[in-house]
């Protein structure tokens, strides 16, 4: 059973980002697998160094990921990855 990758509906206002079932044993592998079929999403989620952009939050099984730079969090079959636009303000 592959990993389920989904995106907050807010991101659909900027780019077409349908959810997908993807393979990978790390978060980086899961995202790279998705970016193969949707390369425009890469620039929205990752910066030019390959780290998660400051305005993006990624959750693995409803918990924030631990490694926003290397994306080395382990992902198992059946896990769920959710990408959201981080909110800030004051």
Which domains, from first to last, does the chain contain? Answer: 3-85 (3.10.20.30)
| pLDDT tens per residue, range 30-87 | 999 999 999 999 999 999 999 999 999 999 999 999 999 999 999 999 999 999 987 6
Predicted confidence (pLDDT) at residue 1 exceeds the cutoff of 80: no
Rounded-to-integer distance, Cα 21 and Cα 81, Å: 10
Say what the pLDDT of residue 9 is.
87
Under DSSP, is residue 45 helix (H, G, I), strand (E, B) or coil?
helix
Instruction: Determine contact, residues 77/3, Cβ cutoff 8 Å.
Output: yes
| Helix (H), strand (E) counts: the chain | 3, 5
Say what the pLDDT of residue 88 is.
64
Say what the pLDDT of residue 14 is.
77
Predicted confidence (pLDDT) at residue 89 exceeds the cutoff of 70: no
Report the relative pairing of strands 80-85 and 63-64 from DSSP bridges: unpaired
Rounded-to-integer distance, Cα 36 and Cα 19, Å: 14
Say what the pLDDT of residue 90 is.
57
């Amino acid at each position: 059973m592959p990993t389920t990758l989904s995106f907050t509906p807010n991101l659909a206002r900027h780019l077409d980002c349908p959810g997908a079932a993807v393979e990978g044993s790390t978060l980086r592998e899961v995202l790279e697998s998705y970016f193969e079929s949707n390369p425009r999403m890469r620039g929205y989620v990752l910066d030019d160094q390959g780290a998660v952009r400051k305005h993006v939050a990624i959750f693995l099984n409803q918990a924030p990921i631990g490694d926003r730079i290397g994306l080395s969090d382990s992902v198992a079959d059946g896990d769920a990855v959710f990408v959201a636009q981080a909110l800030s303000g004051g």
